[in-house]
Amino acid sequence: MFVREGNMADASVIARITVDTWRTTYRGIIPDETLDKLSYSEREKFVIDFLANPKENTFLFVYENAREDVLGFILGGPERFGMTRFSGEIYAIYVLENYQGKCIGKQLMQAAFNKMAKSGYTSASVWVLADNPYRHFYKKLMGIFVENRFFDGLSFAIYGWDNIRNVENL
């Protein structure tokens, strides 16, 4: 079991993980109608575009088990919302429901922080739905609650790490 860089062959499974995880985690937080409309093919197109047209210092890692099944992924890069306190950002991290709580997310975050540090980032943030039942995950990884923000009609909690080099051993 290990973390590796994601590639085009992973696009469909990443799309499935995203949609399935949204549906299991955000039911009751995001309207059912929105979750039911999520499309594997649309999400796969997003992943393909992300990989085919990478922006500078972005990354995508996947977590594979011994059978080479992808069970989770993380993607990120430069901070996107003008929060000058942070140079990097985790854009998405998802692990299939049956594999949550098994340190997969922790390993993905470690890979992300290592990549960010090598790319010259010193700090990072992540936006999490404020009602996400798993937001304590970021606290366990030494993330500090920064603030709540509204975006696209949803409430987000922002967590951050002011010095990602201090969290090398999560």
Cα–Cα nearest to 147, from 93, 85, 90: 85
Domain-located, residue 137:
no
Domain-located, residue 96:
yes
pLDDT digits (tens, 9 = 90+) for 81-137: 999 999 999 999 999 999 999 999 999 999 999 999 999 999 999 999 999 999 999
Domain-located, residue 145:
no
Domain-located, residue 58:
yes
Domain span including residue 37 = 2-122
pTM: 0.94
Domain-located, residue 54:
yes
Share of the chain above pLDDT 90, in %: 93
pLDDT digits (tens, 9 = 90+) for 62-91: 999 999 999 999 999 999 999 999 999 999
Domain-located, residue 139:
no
Residue 57, Ramachandran bin (φ over 0: left; ψ between -120 and 50: alpha; else beta): left
Q: DSSP string spanning 130-168?
A: TT-TTTHHHHHTTPEEEEEEEETTEEEEEEEES-GGGGS
Cα–Cα nearest to 146, from 137, 133, 134, 159: 159
- Mean pLDDT across the chain: 94
Partnered with residue 89 across adjacent β-strands are 77, 125
Domains: count for the chain = 1
CATH of the domain at 95: 3.40.630.30
Report how far apart the first and last C-alpha atoms of the chain are (Å, whole number). Answer: 18
pLDDT digits (tens, 9 = 90+) for 5-42: 999 999 999 999 999 999 999 999 999 999 999 999 99
CB 159 within 8 A of CB 145: yes
The confidence score (pLDDT) of residue 168 equals 59
Domain-located, residue 150:
no
Strands 88-95 and 124-129: parallel
Domain-located, residue 128:
no
